[in-house]
Amino acid sequence: MNKIQKGALTLFSFVMIALCTLFQYTSLANAAPVSSHVQIVGSTDIIWFGEVNTEGCSVTDTNSQVHVYTQPFAVCALEAAADAGGFSYTVKDFGGSLGLFLQSVGSDAGADDFSTYWSYDVNGTAASQGISSQLVNNGDSLYFHFEDPAADPNVRSVIEGLTYLRSEQQGSGQITGFGGVTDWATMSFAAAGINPATVSHGGSSLIAY
């Protein structure tokens, strides 16, 4: 192969690489954000509840390492929820195929011996992989919850009940589907110390209804 042929081959290779790179970034730029529903429940309260949109994110783990994702993984939905809700969280990198796991949200932090820990469900089923490996699809429901075997089970029952009521709230602010009426649901939130005026699910609040 002479010099001209080698030069032409090299030029062709560079052009193909440039075209592949351009196609990759164009595809990412044109990708529509994925919408998902996120619930975050701590040891004693509902930390956040709502809809988020994401197509990727950048997060920093507990070792100050930055992780960039160009797809809507569960960690990106968590990041979007933190931005919307104004709460803090930390993630720990277990490396390899395990990737990132949720370490803490607010004051609820998992113990080093895993006697307490954060877990999450996807569409009502316990997730089988870390939050940086779980891709989120449009309409998915993510439920992050803090597990503490020593906690008062009655407190968790109240939190789970209120979380369910929120999931049944309509855009009008009305809560249906639990065999009761919105008035009783409103009193339940108030009894738990939650202002009913702040309880909404992508629409009007309980008080507005």
Mean pLDDT, the chain, whole residue set: 84
What angle, 0 to 180 degrees and rounded to 10, lies between the N-to-C axes of helices 153-167 and 182-191?
Answer: 140
Q: What is the mean pLDDT of residues 26-38?
A: 70
Q: How does residue 1 score in pLDDT terms, banded at 50, 70 and 90? A: low
* pLDDT value at 165 more than 90: no
Residue located via tokens 């990106």 = 76
* Dihedral sign for Cα atoms in the order 90, 167, 80, 140: positive
Task: Collect all residues with Cβ–Cβ distance below 8 Å to 50 and sequence separation of at least 6.
Answer: 37, 38, 81, 84, 85, 201, 202
DSSP tag of 196:
G
Tens-digit pLDDT profile for residues 83-115: 999 999 999 999 988 999 999 999 999 999 999
φ, ψ dihedrals at 51, nearest 5°: -100, 140
